[in-house]
Amino acid sequence: MPRVVLLGSPPGPDAASGRAATPAALTLPAIPGCPTVIGKLHGQLASLDPAPVTIARSGDAATYRGFPGRVAETSDLAGDLRALADAADAAGQATENLLILPANSLIHDELIYQITKSKRGALALIVKEPREEDENGDAIVPDVPIEEALPEIGDRRLEDLPVRVRAGKSRVISVGSAFHAVTRPNSVLLGPLHLHHKHTATLAEAARELAGMAHLFGPEDDLVQLLVLGLVRRGVSVGIRGRRDLFFRRLNSEEEAAQATADISAFDEDKARLNNAVKGADGFFTTFFVSTYSRFIARWAARRGLTPNQVTLISIALGVAAALCFATGARAGMIAGGVLIYFAFVFDCVDGQVARYARRFGVLGAWLDATFDRFKEYVVFAGLAAGAVVSGVGDVWTLALVALGIQSIRHLLDFSFGAANRRRPPSPLPSMPLSVSADTDLRAALEQRKIARSGGIRGLLKMWSKAGRNRAVHWLRKMIVFPIGERFAAIAIVSALFDARVTFLTLIIWGGIGATYSLTGRLMRSLA
């Protein structure tokens, strides 16, 4: 679970002069119980950190003392940064991740969950400026290309925050302040920032250095934006995500609170949670022929108290029943086996979706899921081979063993490559001193890094990755590796239409192509 830090001093002239309403004073009358903004936030965060640290200015500190956790009282921005550095040090010493949130946040539970469960070492919630369009709806291309653009200290505002962030497709490129100039800023950091414990020491160092530069910053400079500035300038890759179909907003007045509670009611948080329960990187067959409806089975099961392990047992039972049907060798048995193995796979997807929807995870469940996926597959192989002998197709046990061997080797390669890849250190990003105002040198270093990584094997991998933006190529790449969804679909369809021999030949040929493709890609990635 992460350590939580709440920021009680929002940016802006009102906050600087003490005129902004504190989250403890703002109420949400449209929400049952009419909680205050900070009270609702504490309730949402209680399962993550029952005693969060709240950083607040002296004039506001008293309003936070009635809530759980500790209040770090400060007098200015430098004090805010030093208090945050202390909180980051404490999280690092406890090897716990860190979640930083403005105290005046109105946010969906599901968005907090998605941010804290991200695999990125650092993740920030952002919103990008809408692109400029002409009267025909086409994007307006700037006269000066970004390579020739000069860094600027932006004065545009978005959601009452200065636009001083340059964000790319997956991470923050550069961040500015009243002192730090950014080349073509296009985004703002909304507030939530999640940090893996391996980066907490870096954050603490950057925060203390920024505290020494506090006199260079303006009242509009946001604390989260300054923290991400420090991380990026130290070479930390800060990933980005938008709100998508969820809600987040900072509230500074009763009028904003009333409007926000009206706006949040238009969002279907349960639908977003259900959609998030489905893996985003599934194969073609799973995406279009299973997950379109399996999520609703998962919600039904979760609401009736079924655990992921119980759903896994249903999937295993269906897999064994399919194998028994295949073992009869009769045409009716082959068709019934095809139907049962399909639904065995459906419930194999449902168990994970129940776990993600109900947030019920466990080591036993993960082990059962991985182990019995293989068990179902191999027991079906045995059923098909036995049925072939019974029906007079012939002895296909050799083909069954070849198919089993190919899949076993693939699984071994998958797990070993994953373990080795996790130990591989990430490619470092360039760093830049905080004392330098313009980000020109940082962008130049990033461009040099891009050029250096665009040749040889890396260049080939990058080209293939770009090709995946084409929808047809994307799904072809998904299918060619012969994932479990495609394998179960092949068994179900081919066995129902033909016989065990054709089924095994399909598994061997397609499995061999998939194994060759995967092995080639992993060798290239290992050498890149």
* 20, pLDDT greater than 70: no
Query: Are residues 124 and 93 part of one domain?
Result: yes
Q: Minimal CA–CA distance to 484: which of 278, 274, 308, 290?
A: 290
Residue 463, C-beta contacts closer than 8 angstroms, at least 6 positions apart: none
Query: Are residues 364 and 243 part of one domain?
Result: no
Alpha helix segments (H runs only) across 65-108: 77-93
How far apart are the C-alpha atoms of 100 and 29, rounded to whole Å? 26
How far apart are the C-alpha atoms of 416 and 104, rounded to whole Å? 45
Q: Minimal CA–CA distance to 269: which of 500, 432, 44?
A: 44
Q: What is the largest CA-CA distance in the chain?
A: 89
Query: Are residues 232 and 283 part of one domain?
Result: no
Domain boundary among 267, 302, 336: 267
**Is 114 domain-assigned?**
yes
Query: Are residues 171 and 62 part of one domain?
Result: yes
**Is 511 domain-assigned?**
yes
- What is the DSSP-derived secondary structure letter of residue 250? E
Q: Mean pLDDT over residues 32-49, rounded?
A: 90
How far apart are the C-alpha atoms of 432 and 446, rounded to whole Å? 11
Query: Are residues 368 and 244 part of one domain?
Result: no
Q: What is the 3 state secondary structure string of 34-59?
A: CCEHHHHHHHHHCCCCCCCEEEEEHH
How far apart are the C-alpha atoms of 199 and 413, rounded to whole Å? 31
> 143: pLDDT confidence band, cut at 50, 70 and 90?
low
| CATH of residue 20 | 3.90.550.10
Note the pLDDT tens digit of each residue in 260-290: 999 998 999 999 999 999 988 889 999 999 9
How far apart are the C-alpha atoms of 85 and 106, rounded to whole Å? 25
* 13, pLDDT greater than 70: no
**Is 13 domain-assigned?**
yes
How far apart are the C-alpha atoms of 301 and 399, rounded to whole Å? 38
pTM of the complete model: 0.90
Q: How many domains is the chain built from? A: 2
How far apart are the C-alpha atoms of 49 and 99, rounded to whole Å? 10
Confidence (pLDDT) at 139: 65
> 490: pLDDT confidence band, cut at 50, 70 and 90?
very high
| 84 CB neighbour count, 10 Å cutoff | 29
How far apart are the C-alpha atoms of 515 and 407, rounded to whole Å? 8
Q: At what angle do helices 331-358 and 291-303 cross, to 10 degrees?
A: 60
Q: Beta strand 151-152 with 182-183: parallel, antiparallel or unpaired?
A: antiparallel
| 388 CB neighbour count, 10 Å cutoff | 24
Q: Beta strand 157-158 with 172-175: parallel, antiparallel or unpaired?
A: unpaired
| 494 CB neighbour count, 10 Å cutoff | 19
Query: Are residues 424 and 326 part of one domain?
Result: yes
| CATH of residue 436 | 1.20.120.1760
**Is 37 domain-assigned?**
yes
Q: Where are the beta strands (DSSP E) in 289-403?
A: none
298: its two tokens: 């998962």
How far apart are the C-alpha atoms of 345 and 332, rounded to whole Å? 20
How far apart are the C-alpha atoms of 270 and 73, rounded to whole Å? 37
User: Which SS3 state, helix, strand or coil, does residue 29 take?
Assistant: coil
Query: Are residues 322 and 242 part of one domain?
Result: no
Q: How many CA atoms lie within 13 A of 50 on its CB side?
A: 1
**Is 465 domain-assigned?**
yes
368: its two tokens: 């059962």
Query: Are residues 199 and 224 part of one domain?
Result: yes
Query: Are residues 254 and 125 part of one domain?
Result: yes
User: Which SS3 state, helix, strand or coil, does residue 447 take?
Assistant: helix
Query: Are residues 326 and 360 part of one domain?
Result: yes
Note the pLDDT tens digit of each residue in 299-345: 999 999 999 999 999 999 999 999 999 999 999 999 999 999 999 99
Alpha helix segments (H runs only) across 141-266: 200-211, 223-233, 254-264
| 255 CB neighbour count, 10 Å cutoff | 10
Query: Are residues 50 and 21 part of one domain?
Result: yes
Task: Give percent of the chain above pLDDT 90.
Answer: 70
How far apart are the C-alpha atoms of 255 and 342, rounded to whole Å? 53
- What is the DSSP-derived secondary structure letter of residue 279? -
**Is 217 domain-assigned?**
yes
Domain that holds residue 69: 3-267
- Between 182-196, 361-375, 440-454, 485-499, the lowest mean confidence (pLDDT) is in 361-375
**Is 272 domain-assigned?**
no
Distance of CA 259 to the CA centre of its chain: 29
Residue 397: what residue type? W
The more confident residue out of 356 and 10 is 356
Query: Are residues 339 and 260 part of one domain?
Result: no
Q: How many CA atoms lie within 13 A of 484 on its CB side?
A: 22
Domain boundary among 267, 291, 326: 267
Confidence (pLDDT) at 369: 75
* 14, pLDDT greater than 60: no
**Is 461 domain-assigned?**
yes
> 347: pLDDT confidence band, cut at 50, 70 and 90?
very high
Asked if residue 236 lies in contact with residue 205, where contact means CB atoms within 8 angstroms, the answer is no
Asked if residue 264 lies in contact with residue 108, where contact means CB atoms within 8 angstroms, the answer is yes
Q: How many CA atoms lie within 13 A of 187 on its CB side?
A: 24
Domain boundary among 210, 243, 267: 267
Asked if residue 52 lies in contact with residue 41, where contact means CB atoms within 8 angstroms, the answer is no
> Taking all residues of the chain, what is their mean pLDDT, rounded to a whole number?
90
* 146, pLDDT greater than 80: no
Q: Mean pLDDT over residues 6-16, rounded?
A: 65
Confidence (pLDDT) at 16: 41
